[in-house]
Amino acid sequence: MKPKNIIITGGSSGLGLASATAFAEAGHNITLVARGEKRLLEAAEQLRIKYPDARIEERVLDVSNLDQVRVFAKEITEPVDVLMNNAGLMGPDFALSIEGIESQMATNHIGHFLLTSLLWEKLEEASSPRVISISSVVHRRGKIKASSIEEVRGSKKETYDRWQRYADTKLACLLFARELDLRAQQKGSKVVSVAAHPGWALTGLQINYPNRFDFLAQSAQVGARSQIKAASDASIASGDFIGPRWEAWGRPVKIQGSKRSQDLELMKRLWEISEELTGQKFLA
């Protein structure tokens, strides 16, 4: 089997590293992307040692910084078989990206929207390309309306609810995956867009928010099965959503997601606002 070129954001730990490990074991070419240089270099080196037949590269990138995303995308010269938009923030203190976008939305959705658009030509060059968007079980609590650019930007500290915002961003990831599928099909593209979520898994995001029931959670390796399946199972179609059978636990299967995540008008509004925030027209 010909090695695939796979880009994984947030690839230095948690679900991203678990996915990279599985792909490296299969002999694929992995580009690990993460904002923390020390942990990224350590993760890449460990993969090179353990899987010498896999080509492992690393790039320092804060996906919430849109200028950094633009620079990174220009450096990609080979076809991209899989783009796994995995990097994420969960419930941090209020902060804004350089562009003035609330940090969770900037990292979880907006940065990945721009990255996907800028790598689209490289995805199209691959034989069976896939974009994997990582959502969460808490997308069901998402209330995003995408009624204005100000709402999506979320730049007002006084209205910031860290947990509602996290749910909103994970709903945004799922909305993006579904709208990407629709637009790609309308353009006759071969790129497959699939969303996935890990269920209840300890991935490193929860380090500042320990729960006394954490011992019941899945490991990152088990949680990553959904996104690995989404990226590698040829039976999964564009527009599918993959998650644990029992929502929090279980083998990965095709799931429906919330009714709100299937709102076509909401998908369209969020896409158009994402274009405004990034200054990037995409599959228009």
Catalytic residues: 160
- Maximum alpha-carbon separation in the chain: 53
Q: Do the beta carbons of residue 283 and residue 184 sit within 8 Å?
A: yes
Q: What is the DSSP letter of 159?
A: G
Residues 78, 265: Cα–Cα separation, whole Å: 35
Best CA proximity match to 247, nearest among 212, 208, 198:
198
Q: How far apart are the first and last CA of the chain?
A: 35
Radius of gyration of the chain (CA): 17
Instruction: Give the span between the Cα atoms of 21 and 8, in whole angstroms.
Output: 11
